[in-house]
Each structure stands twice: as structure tokens, then as C-alpha cells.
């Protein structure tokens, strides 16, 4: 397969290098990633400004923009061939629960999905630091991609899957890998998106005449829920969540449908 890698930690981050090393042995791999860290940028894109793109190595480009910019450039520009799969990561820190709204890593994969491409976001539970287990996580993902390769290529080719069913949308997964060795990981689980809420506060406030300088602080509150990405990752399982972009609250919609009469 032809695979495009991006991230929100920057093109020189250890996570994306580990992915490149693992996947380039058996796949055609390209990198288009931000030139510097863009964590928590969500689906921001550059609209009204020019973007600088630099070739840093063969099939590798840095972008003075966001992860979503990188994907749009990769899919719409002439820098790389048409790809079959986009992988965003490996993020230096988990992306579970409410993180999915803010994460630049997930946004890179989400942008690919919006443009009709199979996409995977992968993060490791290392809380914004280099992990000793980037290689392990990369090798796990390589095996996972090989296992779902039929679904990916059937979507690319517009054919049916192994059960004879059509694939109306491409695969889109968010994977979180424990920051643990093989023997400490309990296995993998397919999970729903849980709740991991940020209780923000501001400290070190400095007030001047017409402005204030503040620094964000606070803490994270995780809601324990059986089968959620938040809970199973904390229990030392690899969490795999299938995603989509439909934000409709179907429970409310079904409840108020009668008001349309």
C-alpha cells in the first residue's frame, strides 16, 4: 500500500520516525508533517495565508501549518502519489474521550476520512514525552493494518468486503497504546469513546493596565465506563475505537421528530 504519515508533534518527533521505520519495510511510505509541534490544534487549517513546504528527505516534507493542512496538501497537491491510507501519530500522549475533539493527531486522520480515505490515529500513553515503546506500538499497528488491508483496498477499489457487503465509508480508527512492555499489556479491546474531561484553571496571572497574562492549569477527570477507550487504556489494554464524523444526537432527534409535523 501507499501510506501517508503525519502527526501533531512535528516532523522530527520520535513517534512518526518509528512509524516510518516500521512501515517502510513493506509499504511505500510518505511523510508530510508540521515543521513544529501543533498539539491540541484540532482541525485548524490555514485558509488566508501562504504555507511553506520544505523537502527534508526523499518522500518527506515539512509544512508550516497544521496536521489538517498536511493531509489536504498530501491529497490535493502534486508532492506525492495518491495514497491508500493515512496514519497520524504516534502521538506523545493519549488521545481518548474528550481529547478527540481537541487533538491534532486525531484531526489529521479525521481530515483524511472527510476526504474519503482510510485513516488511523495512534497515540501512546506517555503524556507528552518520548516513549521507550514507540517501536512496539509501530509493530502492533503494522500488524493491525495488514489485518484490515482487505477492507482498506476494497474501499480504494470500490469493491465489496469479504462478507459481500459494500463499504459506504472508509475505515477510521483511533488507537491508544499503553506505555508498557509487551508482557505488561493485557491485550487489545475495541472500545467506544468515553469521557475524559478537562477541569481548567488559570494561574500565575499578571495584570497590567489593559491586559492580563495567564497560564492554563487544572486537572483531568476520567469517567470510568466499561468498554470505553478511557477505561480500557487505564486497565492496560490497547484501545481501538472505530470513529465517524456524524455529530447528530440521534436520541434527541428521534424524540423531537414529531415537532416537524
Is residue 251 domain-resident? yes
Is a pLDDT exceeding 90 seen at residue 231?
Answer: yes
Is residue 198 domain-resident? no
Is residue 210 domain-resident? no
Is a pLDDT exceeding 60 seen at residue 161?
Answer: no
Burial class (CB in 10 A: 0-12, 13-18, 19+), 167: middle
% of the chain residues with pLDDT over 90? 74
pTM of the model: 0.91
Is a pLDDT exceeding 70 seen at residue 162?
Answer: no
Q: What is the mean pLDDT of residues 218-235?
A: 88
Burial class (CB in 10 A: 0-12, 13-18, 19+), 19: buried
Number of domains observed in the structure of the chain: 1
Residue 66, helix vs strand vs coil:
coil
pLDDT, position 212? 79
Q: What is the mean pLDDT of residues 188-198?
A: 92
Q: Are 103 and 8 within 8 A, CB to CB?
A: yes
pLDDT digits (tens, 9 = 90+) for 75-91: 999 999 999 999 999 99
Confidence at 201, pLDDT banded by 50, 70, 90: confident
pLDDT, position 11? 98
Average pLDDT score over the chain: 91
Instruction: Single out the residue of 174, 138, 175, 170 nearest to residue 157, CA to CA.
Output: 170
Q: Are 62 and 37 within 8 A, CB to CB?
A: no
- Number of other residues whose CB lies within 10 A of the CB of residue 27: 18
Confidence at 59, pLDDT banded by 50, 70, 90: very high
Is residue 207 domain-resident? no
Is residue 90 domain-resident? yes
pLDDT, position 68? 98
Domain ranges, residue 144: 2-193+224-260
Q: What CATH number is given to the structural domain containing 41? A: 3.40.1210.10
Is residue 144 domain-resident? yes
| β-strands 53-57, 60-63 pairing | antiparallel
Q: What is the mean pLDDT of residues 158-182?
A: 79
Instruction: Single out the residue of 60, 67, 71, 63 nearest to residue 29, CA to CA.
Output: 60
pLDDT digits (tens, 9 = 90+) for 106-120: 999 999 999 999 999
Q: Where are the alpha helices (DSSP H) in the chain?
A: 14-23, 67-76, 99-102, 104-114, 134-147, 149-157, 229-234, 250-256
Distance separating alpha carbons of residues 26 and 29, to the nearest angstrom = 9
- Number of other residues whose CB lies within 10 A of the CB of residue 59: 18
Amino acid at each position: 500500500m501507499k501510506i501517508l504519515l503525519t502527526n501533531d508533534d512535528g516532523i522530527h518527533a520520535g513517534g512518526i520516525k518509528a512509524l516510518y521505520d516500521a512501515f517502510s519495510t513493506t509499504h511505500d511510505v510518505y511523510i508530510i508533517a508540521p515543521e513544529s509541534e501543533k498539539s491540541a490544534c484540532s482541525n485548524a487549517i490555514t485558509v488566508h495565508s501562504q504555507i511553506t513546504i520544505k523537502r527534508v528527505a526523499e518522500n518527506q516534507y515539512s509544512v508550516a501549518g497544521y496536521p489538517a493542512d498536511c493531509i489536504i496538501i498530501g491529497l490535493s497537491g502534486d508532492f506525492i502519489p495518491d495514497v491508500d491510507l493515512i496514519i497520524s501519530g504516534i502521538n506523545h500522549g493519549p488521545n481518548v474521550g474528550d481529547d478527540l475533539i481537541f487533538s491534532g493527531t486525531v484531526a489529521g486522520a479525521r481530515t483524511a476520512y472527510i476526504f474519503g480515505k482510510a485513516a488511523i490515529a495512534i497515540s501512546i500513553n506517555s503524556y507528552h514525552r518520548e516513549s521507550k515503546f514507540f517501536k512496539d506500538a509501530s509493530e502492533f499497528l503494522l500488524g493491525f493494518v495488514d489485518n484490515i488491508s482487505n477492507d482498506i483496498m476494497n474501499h480504494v477499489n470500490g469493491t465489496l468486503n469479504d462478507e459481500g457487503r459494500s463499504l459506504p465509508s472508509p475505515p477510521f480508527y483511533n488507537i491508544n497504546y499503553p506505555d508498557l512492555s509487551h508482557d505488561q499489556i493485557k491485550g487489545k479491546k475495541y472500545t467506544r469513546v468515553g469521557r475524559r474531561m478537562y477541569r481548567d484553571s488559570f494561574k500565575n496571572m499578571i495584570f497590567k493596565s489593559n491586559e492580563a497574562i495567564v497560564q492554563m492549569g487544572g486537572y483531568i477527570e476520567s469517567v470510568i465506563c466499561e468498554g470505553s477507550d478511557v477505561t480500557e487504556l487505564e486497565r492496560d489494554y490497547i484501545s481501538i475505537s472505530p470513529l465517524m464524523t456524524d455529530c447528530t444526537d440521534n436520541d434527541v432527534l428521534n424524540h423531537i421528530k414529531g415537532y416537524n409535523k
